Chain A
């Protein structure tokens, strides 16, 4: 994967939409196989190291989980969930972080030009210089990923190590994974690979195993193999994530209608002035009527 993929596909608050798609560039993907994750948190450390993030004070939640949820300084978090499934006990581990949606709700909601961009290779990146810290992306994201930092007044999230990817390296988390449950590559290849893994799980007694690549957000760049694929919510994943309807209505319907109302009002007033002109007193300029000083 070369810098070719870093052509911009979509940019937040963009006037032109920036959809070129002149060339069919490859879309990257990160595969998370939750069934082989051992919860070692090497990916968490690698992420902190590579992205030069500083550790934040954590809260003990009674599990192995490093902290309750993602943070502006913590983009990669292994979530530990315990669950009774029939007679069995399951320890469900999931790597939480940005899913890099094909249809990113954060980008849709963002009002700052270029603060959130989606590259041709599918990575959804944040440009802190353009970010104005309005937090609208947090409402747009169906996965609850973007995190606002009061210290920087910016939003932060996983960039899929775009700086590594553009020079042909895999993301830091993938590099560090000791079990190979994280893989990085071309999305078509990885989906095929993930489906083979799902078949394997099905044969091993996980009949509901599935690949999580939710179509409601156009698919995600980060795809997840789930042994209990019929219950993504057991892993803390929404069942059918979508960009909130309100965000779509807001940006696609209300904004143009509002612009129309404003322009309409302005044009109506111009039209009125041209048709009727100013309303002046019929009795002409003021004439003294004896009830005031001349």
Chain B
């Protein structure tokens, strides 16, 4: 785990959150009751991916099915969606590349992660029966999501380019792209629904790591015990 030299926690002057201030530049450090989980740059990249994803989603859905055609009026009609969708797709793909580069080194699956992502492991996780002390900063499911999102974004980008300029490509490639874009989108969206649920309603205290960059110690102990030990032990040793 990368570890920046730990600055002294800013004195609590009652005008700001010390942990949050630290989270602008640093992550994986404990400050008081809080632990900085995602530094500002990580959060900005993730938010860019999220926002461009939603623009792609809401401009794509009315093209995907007429049942959701009403969504087109959010942007001023289907013509605007048809124009905005590929450009927001380019932005989404670019942001996804940044996100990939930023997190890829932390996403290698450990043996424990491989246990976690078996059907049995996932079932235990969703039934809150996992007492897996070996979960690091990202659990096996999160790492799988990372790789699936990277693969999905790549598939959406490649098929999307063909759909954007169909006349530059042959009929077989066009047909394959329409199918691939459809499948990739459906699975991607289904997965992101789960991702958002776990990051908000299912696990209170998670969403603040996306906003403020910090989590509480008890949250870290519960969801990422090995990461918690690593962060706190390192600090004790200092």
Please list the residues of chain A having a beta carbon within 8 angstroms of any beta carbon in chain B: 13-15, 109, 111-113, 130, 132-136, 138-139, 148, 244, 246-247, 249-250, 254-255, 257-259, 261-262, 264-266, 268-269, 272-273, 276, 278-286, 288-289, 291-293
A269 touches B203 (CB 8 A): no
For the complex of A and B, 5 pairs with smallest distance between CB atoms: A258-B186, A246-B175, A265-B190, A281-B218, A292-B32
**Other A-B pairs, 10, CB within 8 Å; known A257-B186, A265-B194, A282-B222:** A132-B78, A135-B167, A138-B166, A247-B175, A254-B183, A258-B186, A262-B190, A265-B191, A292-B33, A293-B9
B167 touches A138 (CB 8 A): yes
CB-nearest residue of chain B to A112: B78
User: Looking at chain B's contact residues, is the secondary structure mostly helix, strand, loop, or mixed?
Assistant: helix
Partner of A276, one of B69, B82, B126, B204: B126
Stretch at the interface among B43-51, B58-66, B99-107, B146-154: B58-66
CB-nearest residue of chain B to A15: B66
A277–chain B nearest beta-carbon distance, Å: 8
A258–chain B nearest beta-carbon distance, Å: 3
B127: Cβ under 8 A from any A Cβ: yes
Give A281 to B33 CA distance when docked, in angstroms.
14
CB-nearest residue of chain B to A257: B186
> Do A258 and B197 form a contact, CB below 8 Å, given A14-B66, A265-B190, A291-B232?
no
> What are 23 pairs between A and B in contact, CB < 8 Å?
A111-B66, A113-B66, A113-B69, A130-B78, A132-B81, A244-B175, A246-B179, A247-B178, A254-B179, A254-B186, A255-B65, A258-B186, A259-B186, A262-B186, A265-B190, A272-B202, A273-B201, A276-B127, A276-B128, A280-B204, A281-B219, A285-B218, A286-B216
Total number of B residues with any Cβ neighbor in A under 8 Å: 53
B114: Cβ under 8 A from any A Cβ: no
Give A203 to B191 CA distance when docked, in angstroms.
66
Contacts of A112 in B (CB 8 A): 78
B185: Cβ under 8 A from any A Cβ: yes
B189: Cβ under 8 A from any A Cβ: yes
B31: Cβ under 8 A from any A Cβ: yes
Contacts of A130 in B (CB 8 A): 78
A132 touches B182 (CB 8 A): no
B179–chain A nearest beta-carbon distance, Å: 6
Please list the residues of chain B having a beta carbon within 8 angstroms of any beta carbon in chain A: 9, 12, 30-33, 63-67, 69, 78-79, 81-82, 126-128, 163, 166-167, 171, 174-176, 178-179, 182-183, 185-187, 189-191, 193-194, 197, 201-205, 216-219, 221-223, 232, 236
> Do A139 and B171 form a contact, CB below 8 Å, given A273-B202, A286-B218?
yes
Give A258 to B61 CA distance when docked, in angstroms.
12
> Do A281 and B64 form a contact, CB below 8 Å, given A139-B174, A257-B186?
no
CB-nearest residue of chain A to B191: A265
A13 touches B197 (CB 8 A): no
> Do A292 and B31 form a contact, CB below 8 Å, given A13-B66, A139-B178, A279-B128?
yes
A110–chain B nearest beta-carbon distance, Å: 10
Give A14 to B69 CA distance when docked, in angstroms.
10
Contacts of B81 in A (CB 8 A): 132
Give A182 to B33 CA distance when docked, in angstroms.
86
A270–chain B nearest beta-carbon distance, Å: 9
B29–chain A nearest beta-carbon distance, Å: 11
A273 touches B30 (CB 8 A): no
CB-nearest residue of chain A to B11: A293
Contacts of B9 in A (CB 8 A): 293
Give A261 to B69 CA distance when docked, in angstroms.
19
B166 touches A139 (CB 8 A): yes
CB-nearest residue of chain A to B176: A246
Partner of A15, one of B67, B126, B193: B67
Contacts of A247 in B (CB 8 A): 175, 178
Residue among A130, A132, A148 with the most chain B CB within 10 A?
A132
B230–chain A nearest beta-carbon distance, Å: 15
Give A13 to B183 CA distance when docked, in angstroms.
19
A283 touches B166 (CB 8 A): no
Give A269 to B190 CA distance when docked, in angstroms.
10
B179 touches A249 (CB 8 A): yes
Give A257 to B65 CA distance when docked, in angstroms.
12
Give A285 to B204 CA distance when docked, in angstroms.
12
Contacts of A293 in B (CB 8 A): 9, 12, 32
Give A84 to B174 CA distance when docked, in angstroms.
35
Contacts of B163 in A (CB 8 A): 134, 136
Contacts of A278 in B (CB 8 A): 201-204
CB-nearest residue of chain A to B172: A246
A125–chain B nearest beta-carbon distance, Å: 18
